[in-house]
Structure 1
Amino acid sequence: MNYTVVLPAAGSGKRMKADKNKLLLELADQPIFLHTLAVFERDEACTGIWLAVKQSEQAIIEAYVREAGFTKVRGYATGGKERQDSVRACLELIPACEVVLVHDAARPFIEPVVISNLVQTAYEKGAAIAAVPVKDTIKRAVDGKVLETVAREQLWTIQTPQAFRYPLLLQAARQALADAFLGTDEAMLVERLGEPVHLVESTYENIKMTTPDDLVYGKAILEKRQ
């Protein structure tokens, strides 16, 4: 089953304590986002990659893509104020397809088998998201006082990719815009339509490069895989 992937790449370096987009920071001698692109470039089922970028960074990102020799990057959308705006901008540009994935450009360690399972589940059921079971004890608290310990057996940490039938996600994105609703992820927009979203178990290595510590973890993951 083939798919198209959308990569929001218009972030900042604030939590990374960097003076530029964190995706341009280097991990093993190349920008973080190139590691992510490489996963989809190698996947035969991926027919196209679309990026949402800042207008001021598009030229440098395009240059990196050309230099890396990637052939599946089909186009660029101008990133919006919110991630949700960036994703919608890409959805409005891409040719209609059966399954579309949305993936954080800052998650370079997604496993191909997880992508495959997500695509198949989305094709069959409409919507699927990568997730891992919560490992820690979780407590609900108010003003520093614990109110209860939450049963973690029903809790999952949500990652990306998130996979959907293309018409479903486009409808959800347009409806959120019409309602001036801001969600925390694409699945939340689909949930608003009353559509079920299915979990696909991912791996704990599928971390998002967000803080300086993550660069240390990322280097360790690369060394382990090599």
Structure 2
Amino acid sequence: MKYYAVIVAGGSGNRMQTETPKQFLLLKNLPVLMHTIKAFAQSDSQPKILLVLNKEQQAYWLRLCEEFNFRIPHQIINGGTERFYSVKNAIETINEESIVAIHDAVRPLISKELIDKGFKQAETIGNVIAAVQSSDSVRMLRDNKTNALSRNEIYLVQTPQTFSLKILKESYKQEFSTHFTDDASVVELAGYEINIVEGERNNIKITYPIDLELAELLLKN
């Protein structure tokens, strides 16, 4: 069975209060995206890496690779206007029977253990997504009224989200919907039940400036 990793890097720096897209910001003297790619390259699964980037960012990325002497093999795929189209562009380039992990470029602290677990379990049961149980109390706001939810039943979804290529190809034949918040939501609407594997608290997403500071601290430790 072949393994692929689709790294989705379409984010901007808006919420980071910076003009530089967050996947290119420096984390421990290396762009965030390079940490993410290294994690997959160092996993036992050794997937072929497909990096989805907006066309206008590709030249900059290649310059960064030269500047940091970054030589990990990866194929660049053109990003789309939405994450849905970016992932679709990537999976359309894969034609052999395979297991595909889809991961946010700005989750650079992913462990090789979680990567490998995702590939192995998806190969057995068709799909698996990383998620952690909520440690906070949770309330739902609806019609200006709030209701408490059981945090034991609430999971915070992460990536990687790993699927058989067959499931992905079928699911991404659907028309785009604004209800698609991640790949699992696309696959679920196609009629598949989603399986969860325990994620990692360290597997944070770099969205706000404090996230970058936290990632620096976690890497030091």
TM class, shorter-chain normalised?
Answer: over 0.9
**Identical counterparts, % of pairs:** 32
Distance 1:71 1:27, change over 3 A: closer
1:72 aligns with 2:69: no
Q: Distance in 1 between matches of 2:40 and 2:65?
A: 13
1:223 Cα deviation from its structure 2 partner: 0.5
The answer to whether the 8 A contact 2:38-2:72 is kept is: no
Q: Distance in 2 between matches of 1:124 and 1:68?
A: 37
| Corresponding residue for residue 207 of structure 2 | 210
1:219 aligns with 2:216: yes
1:41 Cα deviation from its structure 2 partner: 1.5
Residue deviations 1:64-118, cap 9 Å, x none? 3454443331x21111111111111111123424200000000011111111111
Q: How does 1:1-226 map to 2 (within 5 A)?
A: 2-65=2-65, 67-73=68-74, 75-142=75-142, 145-146=145-146, 148-175=147-174, 179-182=175-178, 183-224=180-221
Residue deviations 1:33-81, cap 9 Å, x none? 01111101112412310111111111221233454443331x2111111
TM-score w.r.t. the length of structure 1 is 0.91
Q: Give the SS at the match of 1:15.
A: helix
Q: Give the SS at the match of 2:173.
A: helix
Q: Distance in 1 between matches of 2:79 and 2:157?
A: 23
CA RMSD in angstroms comes to 1.6
Q: Give the SS at the match of 1:181.
A: coil
1:2 Cα deviation from its structure 2 partner: 4.9
TM-score w.r.t. the length of structure 2 is 0.93
The one-letter code matched in structure 2 to 1:181 is S
Unaligned runs of 5+ in 1: none
The answer to whether the 8 A contact 1:41-1:70 is kept is: no
The answer to whether the 8 A contact 1:126-1:197 is kept is: no
The alignment covers a number of residue pairs equal to: 219
Unaligned runs of 5+ in 2: none
